[in-house]
Every structure is written in structure tokens, then in C-alpha cells.
Amino acid sequence: MSIERSSSGLRDHLFSVLEALEKGSRTPQDVIAASKAAAQINNSARIDQEYARFISEQRTHTKTPLSLTLVTEIPKDVKDMTDEELLEIIRKKS
């Protein structure tokens, strides 16, 4: 089964999983797993949007080269940060 990679495709899939639960062909654990995956996809999309806005604003509001700004402002342990911590860094720069 291929899911359309868009917000409407994700919604359609989630509704189909819920309908399958009502019919008895899916378990509550399946629904929980699908919901958690959808939440992660949405968080990823939100971070992409925040980052795009941050980059756009940096290009219009600063004369400092963008690469220098990013290198000096993002912590070295970024791989260990949660999505919310990363969003907070982006918001502070916006």
C-alpha cells in the first residue's frame, strides 16, 4: 500500500486505519502506532517550515553570511536534542 506523501494523504491513511479498527481488521495498537508515526511526520514538517522561515528572515535581516550564523548559533549536541528544543532555537532566532 502506498500512501500519498502529503497532509491530505496522511489524513486519509489515518482515517482508513480508524475505519479498519471499527471493522475489526486493525488493533488499537495499530492505531496508536499510526498516530505516533503521523505525529512525528507532522513535527518534522513543522520543523521544516520553521527552518524555512528562519532562513528567509536571516537572508532579509542580516548582512552576516548565513553559514556563519548557523555554525555559531546551533549547539554541537544538536543530534541529541528533541524536536521541541530545536524549535525553540529556531524561534529565538526568528
- Is 50 exceeded by the pLDDT of residue 4? yes
Residue 37: all three cell numbers together: 508515526
- Is 50 exceeded by the pLDDT of residue 30? yes
What stretches of the chain adopt beta strand conformation (E)? Answer: none
The better pLDDT of the pair 54, 70 is held by 54
Q: What burial class does residue 36 get, using C-beta atoms within 10 Å of its C-beta: 0-12 exposed, 13-18 middle, 19+ buried?
A: exposed
Q: Quick one: pLDDT at residue 23?
A: 95
Model confidence pLDDT, tens digit, residues 38-50: 888 888 888 888 8
Residue 59: all three cell numbers together: 537572508
Query: Does any domain span residue 76?
Result: yes
Q: Range of 67's domain? A: 7-93
Query: Does any domain span residue 34?
Result: yes
Query: Does any domain span residue 77?
Result: yes
Q: Quick one: pLDDT at residue 68?
A: 46
Q: How many domains are contained in the chain?
A: 1
Residue 1: all three cell numbers together: 500500500
- Is 90 exceeded by the pLDDT of residue 73? no
- Residue 82, helix vs strand vs coil: coil
Query: Does any domain span residue 1?
Result: no
What pTM, to 2 d.p., does this model score?
A: 0.53
Q: Do residues 31 and 14 make contact, with C-beta atoms less than 8 angstroms apart?
A: no
